[in-house]
Amino acid sequence: METRIQELRKAGKISQAELADALDVTRQTIISLEKGRYNASLELAYKIAKYFNLTIEEVFIFEEEKE
């Protein structure tokens, strides 16, 4: 799953550490989310969206797998 976290964070001049502190996660979690190596839980996705004052759909780009 792709995210706009890095784009939003940079636009707001927010460091990975600052975002991690605000969301009560580690900086490594933010790095993993930005690189697409980790999918956020629903609770974390909600916190991230709320932090940026956006909807979950505006932060996370979900593409259904084609069968």
d(CA 5, CA 32): 11
Residue-level pLDDT at 42: 96
Tell me how many domains the chain contains.
1
Q: What is the pLDDT of residues 13-66, one digit of tens each?
A: 999 999 999 999 999 999 999 999 999 999 999 999 999 999 999 999 987 766
Domain annotation covers residue 66: no
Domain annotation covers residue 67: no
d(CA 50, CA 3): 14
Query: What is the CATH number for 47?
Result: 1.10.260.40
Domain that holds residue 32: 2-61
Quote the pTM value. 0.89
Structure-token pair, residue 48: 């991230």
Domain annotation covers residue 54: yes
| DSSP codes, 33-60 | HHHTSSPPPHHHHHHHHHHTTS-HHHHE
Domain annotation covers residue 37: yes
